[in-house]
Amino acid sequence: MKPQGREAWIKEAMTKGMTRQEADETMAAMVANRKRNYAEAAKQRKVAKPAIETSSVAKSVTLVPSKSTVTESLIRQLPLWHDAQRGAPNEILRSALFNARNTKTARVMLKDEVIASIGEGVISYRGEELRQTDQAVWLQLIHLAQNRPVEEMIEFTPYAFCKAINWSVNGQAYDRLRECIARMQATGLRVYSKRLGKGVSLSMIPLFEYEDPSSKQKLARWRVRLPIELIELFGGECYTRLEWAQRLSLPNGLGSWLHSYLATHRTPHPILLETIKSGAGLTCQNRELRRLVEGALNDLKKCGFLKEYSIEDQTVKFVRAKL
């Protein structure tokens, strides 16, 4: 990226909430990573001898990766954001994929069912129902994968991971973390939206290793691989950077779901209570809905995300705090 292009990116990042220092640090990481990728691509462009040489003509042939192969090696990385943020595709944050139901409600198994969403996207899902606790784990996994090609394995200790998502650090929490990751491993997700122009199908976590297969001993460092198709969902700047401290301060439920959904809009538009109910995957009675929404919005004010809100008849209006 040329110097003028870097400065333009930094200015754009600052309009989205980064400080100058944060934007400079993120750009430096992007430049360093791009140099590393170019170095890897350069290795691919070296002349490769054929495995079998059967003639003088064969000896003169050199195998050079195509332009598309080299380009692909340079774009297999997720966007970058500051360490105080977490990123996720808008289609996911505007849907009930990670629903806000009461944690005491039993989870159900879904078989290629269409998930409620707000907007033009269509999402179908196969697997055990996901909740906001699963979303917190998923967001952290994506964060750990952002500085490398997305198909590379990421490694972490359960202790450090639980600390990062503000969970307790004990055996029970580690079991809970393992269950969350395993739940997302046994999934099939299909996302279609107008901006993609097609459907993208993926397993949310293609690979998860937490114990030695022969000894059955727990590994000190767990290993996870995310799907390369995830890059497509982050394309075109159609993703949102969530303020992580705010997200962690909220109870996993409607408050955290609204935080994710509203963050996808710089200026959130008014929305019906019934739309919130559907988008968050709630199953409560309508008479309970207003109380739940008011409680969640008050939590969003306390954490500094919302400046104010109002509920008139069945319509909710929001004013975000200064970005």
Quick check: 106 pLDDT over 70? yes
Cα atoms found within 13 Å of the Cα of residue 160, Cβ hemisphere only:
9
CB atoms within 10 A of CB 41: 16
DSSP-assigned letters across all residues of 44-60: HTS-B--S---SHHHHT
Domain boundaries, the chain: 3-74, 85-320
pLDDT digits (tens, 9 = 90+) for 162-174: 999 999 999 999 9
Task: Report in angstroms the alpha-carbon separations of 93 from 134, 144, 147, 210, 275.
Answer: 13, 19, 22, 28, 14
Quick check: 2 pLDDT over 60? no
Residue 66's contacts (CB-CB under 8 Å, 6 or more residues apart) are none
Under the banding of pLDDT at 50, 70 and 90, the label for residue 75 is: low
Under the banding of pLDDT at 50, 70 and 90, the label for residue 197 is: confident
pLDDT digits (tens, 9 = 90+) for 24-34: 766 665 565 45
The pLDDT value given to residue 60 = 33
Under the banding of pLDDT at 50, 70 and 90, the label for residue 7 is: confident
Contact of 127 with 198, CB cutoff 8 Å: no
40 vs 260 pLDDT, higher one: 260
Report the percentage of the chain scoring pLDDT > 90.
66
d(CA 246, CA 13): 19
Average confidence (pLDDT) over 104-108: 93
Average confidence (pLDDT) over 95-120: 94
d(CA 305, CA 200): 32
Helices 171-185, 132-145: axis angle to 10 degrees equals 80
Under the banding of pLDDT at 50, 70 and 90, the label for residue 322 is: confident
The pLDDT value given to residue 18 = 61
The pLDDT value given to residue 11 = 67
The pLDDT value given to residue 236 = 80
d(CA 133, CA 138): 9
pLDDT digits (tens, 9 = 90+) for 215-258: 989 999 999 999 999 999 998 889 999 999 999 999 999 999 99
Q: Which residue has the tokens 């969003």?
A: 300
198 vs 51 pLDDT, higher one: 198
Under the banding of pLDDT at 50, 70 and 90, the label for residue 6 is: low
Report the SS3 class of residue 227.
coil
The pLDDT value given to residue 39 = 53
Cα torsion 119, 110, 241, 293 to 10°: value is 70
Which helix or strand (DSSP H or E) is residue 319 part of?
strand 315-320
Q: What is the CA radius of gyration of the chain?
A: 22
The pLDDT value given to residue 120 = 82
pLDDT digits (tens, 9 = 90+) for 115-153: 999 988 899 999 999 999 999 999 999 999 998 898 899
Task: Report in angstroms the alpha-carbon separations of 207 from 8, 223, 261.
Answer: 38, 8, 28
Quick check: 196 pLDDT over 50? yes
d(CA 102, CA 177): 19
